[in-house]
Structure 1
Amino acid sequence: MLKVYGFSKVNAVARGHTRDLRVLWALEEMQLPFELAGMDHPAHDLNTEAYRRLSPFEQIPSIDDDGLVVSESAAIVAYLAKKSGRLIPSDRAGEAQVMRWCFAAMNTVEPPLLGLMVLDWTADGSCGKHREFLVGWANRVLTNLERWFADRDFVATDGFTVADILMTHVLSSGIKDERLIAPYPGVASYRDRCLARPAWKRTIDAYCARVEAG
């Protein structure tokens, strides 16, 4: 059976925002059976030689599908979509658009949001110029994303796909200050529309019931 390595305990700030949620959401949408292997981050479960064989960078999530090991959340959800034939079109053109937007979520939208979030966690108040740059970068990305959503409900195709799981999670977990997204009502509406899906609600409820704050 498919085994998913996700958190059982993680620091309180990250709880509810971790990247295993991307995989768990995809599995809930796809209705695929799996076994969950809970990992205790404060107890250093990720820092063992055994786990490094699954995830070279000692990160969650990873999967073991009857001996086929995949790490990195975007790679995992793309693999699951292809395996199940769900949340990804069967035609080459549609699949290409989904993969395009999976990469965009990870490589274009997430970096400025993650950089800003990390700076706000760690800055001592002397990084005003750095923060101004990151805010400008984030605004440029969100401006272009707002334009993209002018006549679209979903990011890659007419229907919900794994690209929407990745993009929505990036937007919901990467933006801690709603003032950043407020000028972009199309992006905010897209995020909220995807987060209203029953499969996400079941996923986050189960996660919060299971995962402890360390």
Structure 2
Amino acid sequence: MLKLYGFSKVNAGARGHTRDLRVLWALEEMQLPFELAGMDHPAHDLNTEAYRRLSPFEQIPSIDDDGLAVSESAAILVYLAKKSGRLIPGDRDGEAQVMRWCFAAMNSVELPLMSLLVLDWTADGSCGKHREFLVGWANRMLGNLERWFAGREFVATEAFTVADILMAHVLSAGIKDEGLIAPYPGVASYRDRCLARPAWKRTIEAYCARVEAG
């Protein structure tokens, strides 16, 4: 059976925003059976040689599908979509669009948002110029995304796909200040539309009941 390695305990600031939620959401949407292996981050469960064989960078999530190891949340979602035939089109053109927007979520949108988050976590008050640059970078990505969503319900195709799980989670977990997304109502509406899905609500409810803050 498919085994998912996800958090059982994680630091309080990250709880509810971790990347294993992307895989848990996809599995709930796809209704795929799986076994969950809970990992205690403060207890250094990720820092073992056994776990490095699954996830070379000692990160969550990873999966073991009958001996096939896959890490990196986007790679896992694409693998599961192709394995199940769900949340990804069966035609070449549709699949290409989903892949395009999976990469966009990870490489174009998440990078400035995560960089801004890290700066705000670690800044000592002397990084005003750096923060101004990152805010400008984030605004450029969100502005381009706002234009893209004109007349679109989902990001890659007319139907909800794994690209939407990645993009919606990036927008949810990566933006702590709602003022950043407020100028982009189309992006905010898209995020909220995805997070209103019953599968996401079940996923986050189960996660919060299970995962401890460490």
Q: Alpha-carbon deviation of 1:180?
A: 0.1
SS in 1 for 2:36: strand
SS in 2 for 1:154: coil
Query: C-alpha separation between the residues in 2 aligned to 1:54 and 1:145?
Result: 34
Structure 1 residues 125-164: aligned runs within 5 Å: 125-164=125-164
> Could you report, residue by residue, the CA deviation over 1:86-145 in whole angstroms, capped at 9, with x for unpaired residues?
000000000000000000000000000000000000000000000000000000000000
Q: Alpha-carbon deviation of 1:184?
A: 0.1
Could you tell me which runs of 5 or more consecutive residues in structure 2 were left unpaired when the two chains were aligned: none
What code does the residue aligned with 2:20 have? D
Query: C-alpha separation between the residues in 1 aligned to 2:151 and 2:93?
Result: 20
Query: C-alpha separation between the residues in 2 aligned to 1:61 and 1:112?
Result: 21
Q: Which residue of structure 2 aligns with residue 168 of structure 1?
A: 168
- TM-score between the two structures when normalised by the length of structure 1: 1.00
Q: Which residue of structure 2 aligns with residue 210 of structure 1?
A: 210
Q: Answer yes or no: is 1:30 the counterpart of 2:30.
A: yes
SS in 2 for 1:6: strand
The runs of at least 4 consecutive aligned structure 1 residues that moved more than 4 Å come to none
Q: Which residue of structure 2 aligns with residue 4 of structure 1?
A: 4
Percent identity of paired positions between Structure 1 and Structure 2: 90
SS in 2 for 1:159: coil
Q: Which residue of structure 2 aligns with residue 58 of structure 1?
A: 58
Q: Which residue of structure 2 aligns with residue 17 of structure 1?
A: 17
Query: C-alpha separation between the residues in 2 aligned to 1:193 and 1:86?
Result: 19
What code does the residue aligned with 1:173 have? A
Q: Answer yes or no: is 1:109 the counterpart of 2:122.
A: no
Q: Alpha-carbon deviation of 1:10?
A: 0.1
Could you tell me which runs of 5 or more consecutive residues in structure 1 were left unpaired when the two chains were aligned: none
Q: Which residue of structure 2 aligns with residue 48 of structure 1?
A: 48
Q: Which residue of structure 2 aligns with residue 119 of structure 1?
A: 119
Query: C-alpha separation between the residues in 2 aligned to 1:66 and 1:110?
Result: 31
Query: C-alpha separation between the residues in 1 aligned to 2:125 and 2:184?
Result: 27
What code does the residue aligned with 2:119 have? L
Query: C-alpha separation between the residues in 2 aligned to 1:68 and 1:85?
Result: 18
Structure 1 vs Structure 2 CA RMSD = 0.2
Q: Alpha-carbon deviation of 1:209?
A: 0.3
Q: Alpha-carbon deviation of 1:156?
A: 0.0
Q: Which residue of structure 2 aligns with residue 182 of structure 1?
A: 182
What code does the residue aligned with 1:56 have? P
Q: Which residue of structure 2 aligns with residue 88 of structure 1?
A: 88
Q: Alpha-carbon deviation of 1:82?
A: 0.1
- TM-score between the two structures when normalised by the length of structure 2: 1.00
Paired positions, count: 214
